Structure 1
Amino acid sequence: MLARTWRGVTKAADAEAYQAYLERTGLTQYRATPGNLGAYCLRRVTGERAEFLLVTLWESMDAVRRFAGESPERAVFYPEDDRYLIDRDLHVTHYEVPFASVAEVGS
């Protein structure tokens, strides 16, 4: 299993709107890609900035390529990203996931 991470920053005032936009674009596309094993959107608002960290899990690099294309180290952007993002990673980071343990919510 592989984890793919990407970071982007919006103005704090745009955090809710950008999160909804992520749900309609990237997170929907992740889930629709064969080989995607999960997607997490982490958000941290500090002062006037909202930082987003997306962590997606994939069964293989081939699955990542089905989502990202032939340059899987490049971040994937959507048409309205420029409207929201004030800072962003242009490249992603891939990690091997040697083990994973997920507790049920509420446990």
Structure 2
Amino acid sequence: MIARMWRGWVHTDRLAEYVDIVEGTGMSEYRATPGNQGAQLLTRDLGDGRTELITLSWWDDLDVIRAFAGDDIEKAKYYPEDDEFLFDRETTVSHFEVQPGGESALSAAARRS
């Protein structure tokens, strides 16, 4: 299993609106892709008017990530609405191999997402 992570930053006063957009675009597209095992959107108020967002998703393997992201799986995928909300973002994503023992906890988390 592969974990895929991306980070971006929004103004805190626009967070709720942007969360709705992300859930309706990227997160729902993650979850609809065969081989995706779940996805969560994490947020963290930085206390200075900025909020950090992290998308974290779990995938069967790199091939199913390619089905979602295209051949360059390191390149972050954006939607037209993102430009209105994100004042900073990572242009790449990180991939991590989920080690044995972590998959059962991830499966439970994916069922809740």
2:2 corresponds in structure 1 to 2
Once residues 8 and 97 of structure 2 are traced to their aligned partners in structure 1, the CA distance between those partners, rounded to angstroms, is 22
Aligned length, in residue pairs: 104
2:14 is matched with 14
Matched, 1:45 2:45: yes
Task: Specify the alignment match of 1:26 in structure 2.
Answer: 26
The code of the aligned residue for 1:94 comes to H
The separation in 2 between residues aligned to 1:52 and 1:67, in whole angstroms, is: 20
TM-score by length of 1: 0.93
Structure 1 letter corresponding to 2:77: V
Classify the secondary structure of the residue corresponding to 2:76.
Answer: coil
3-state SS, counterpart of residue 73 of structure 1: coil
1:1-107 → structure 2 map (5 Å cutoff) = 1-47=1-47, 48-99=49-100, 100=102, 101=105
Structure 1 runs not aligned, ≥5 long: none
- Identity fraction in percent: 43
The CA RMSD over aligned residues, in Å, is 1.2
Aligned-residue offset at 1:40: 1.1
1:94 Cα deviation from its structure 2 partner: 0.3
Q: How many angstroms does 1:46 deviate by?
A: 1.9
SS at match of 1:52: strand
Structure 1 residue matching 2:78: 3-state secondary structure: coil
Consecutive aligned runs of 4 or more in structure 1 exceeding 3 Å deviation: none
Q: Whose helix proportion is higher, 1 or 2?
A: 2
